[in-house]
Amino acid sequence: METEIINIVEIIKKNKQMREVKSFIDLMKSFYDEKSCREFLEDIKWRGEPICPHCNCQTKEHYKLKSNGEFKGLYKCKRCKKRFTVTIGTMFEGSHVSLKKWFYALYIFLAHKKGISSIQLSKDIDVTQKTAWFMLERIRHNLKDKLVVQFNDMTQVDETYVGGKNKGRVKNAQGRSLKVKTPVVGLLSNGMAYTAVVPNTGGKVLKTIINTLVKEGSTVITDGWKGYTGISKNYIHKVVEHSTGEYVKDGFHTNSIEGFWSHLKRGILGIYHKVSPKHLDKYCDEFAFRYNTRGLTDVERFTYFTMSAYKRLKYQSLISP
């Protein structure tokens, strides 16, 4: 993570468009048209010389194709004879929305602590709500696994439920429900969070996640939920019994991951209002990304995301069952 931050800072220092950007107003001044946005993408993606995405040619073997005497970012590879632009192989490929609007949407989405709704974004950048929703889903599609979390120290593990309310009380549930809400498991270590939407919070599911993500021998801190029974075989298991009013035991607690859950739920309830189980994992990734990059400035977070957004999401894939 520290190495990535250093690289981002260096990129910003070397890029003349980003050096003076301190706020959204500055961003609007720096990226005022398609040319300025395209040149920024070319700089952070190619670092000086175009690379053909078709044959991965990294030499100067390319032509600049002009339209009506003006160069608009279209290249032709001398080797494979195919045309390409800097957006091919990125989340912007195939989009009819201008790069300027994309950049504005990215900055707003990443800077707002609780996110932004598609309705509000559509008003801010002057697109339809459907287009804004698709743009937001494309962004979320590129948030998964942006920062790899190493769970090899003190790891807090907790599970929560996101969704509607139950009608009446559920016996012996300890705040858990299996009928209406969707279960989510979270891990947090060294200030970095990871989430996973799961079918249930049974022991098999919880132990599989912990065994996969947490280094054996690490200290794992949980509440008293029975699903965690048995993990002491591979880990130092510290249990904080919330059911008895205990929230800190010998200095161990799960307050950090519970604080993350609180922020996630306030964001979903206040901004998005309702999230379907199908797309919940993307919203969890959204809040985890902002949480894990909270040490970056808005400009650094924007740059980090833009330079690594290489996953394209097509509309039919998004709406398919």
pLDDT tens sequence across 303-317: 999 988 888 888 888
Mean pLDDT across the chain = 89
Structure tokens at 240: 């904080």
Q: What is the pLDDT of residue 169?
A: 41
- Considering only residues 318 and 232, tell me which one the structure prediction assigns the higher pLDDT: 232
Domain with CATH 3.30.420.10 in the chain: 154-292
Length reported for the chain: 321
The amino acid occupying position 35 is K
pLDDT digits (tens, 9 = 90+) for 115-136: 999 999 999 999 999 999 999 9
Q: Tell me the average pLDDT across 216-233.
A: 96
- Confidence class of residue 158 from pLDDT cuts 50, 70 and 90? very high
pLDDT digits (tens, 9 = 90+) for 88-107: 989 999 999 999 999 999 99
Q: What is the pLDDT of residue 172?
A: 53
- Rounded Cα gap, residues 313 and 13, in angstroms: 31
% pLDDT > 70, the chain: 93
User: At a CB cut-off of 8 Å and minimum separation 6, what does 4 contact?
Assistant: 147, 304
> Between helices 2-14 and 298-306, what is the axis angle to 10°?
90
Q: What is the pLDDT of residue 179?
A: 53
Q: Tell me the average pLDDT across 149-169.
A: 80
In CATH, which superfamily holds the domain spanning 154-292?
Ribonuclease H-like superfamily/Ribonuclease H (3.30.420.10)
Q: What is the pLDDT of residue 140?
A: 95
pLDDT digits (tens, 9 = 90+) for 23-52: 999 999 999 999 999 999 998 888 878 999
User: At a CB cut-off of 8 Å and minimum separation 6, what does 120 contact?
Assistant: none
Structure tokens at 20: 């003076």
User: At a CB cut-off of 8 Å and minimum separation 6, what does 214 contact?
Assistant: 151, 152, 155, 157, 187, 220, 235
Q: Looking up tokens 């993350």, which residue turns up?
A: 260
Q: What is the pLDDT of residue 167?
A: 42
Q: What is the pLDDT of residue 173?
A: 55
What is the largest distance, in Å, between two alpha-carbon atoms of the chain? 76
- Confidence class of residue 67 from pLDDT cuts 50, 70 and 90? confident
Residue 157 has pLDDT above 90, yes or no: yes
Q: What is the pLDDT of residue 166?
A: 52
Q: What is the pLDDT of residue 319?
A: 81
Q: Which secondary structure element, helix H or strand E, spans residue 236, and what is its range? A: strand 236-240
189 closest CA partner among 219, 226, 229: 219
Q: What is the pLDDT of residue 243?
A: 85
% pLDDT > 90, the chain: 69
Structure tokens at 302: 């924007």
- Rounded Cα gap, residues 158 and 175, in angstroms: 12
Q: What is the pLDDT of residue 177?
A: 47
- Rounded Cα gap, residues 221 and 223, in angstroms: 7
Which range is most confident: 5-14, 77-86, 172-181?
A: 77-86
Beta bridge partners of 155: 220
Instruction: Name the pairing type of β-strands 83-84 and 70-77.
Output: antiparallel
Q: What is the pLDDT of residue 49?
A: 87
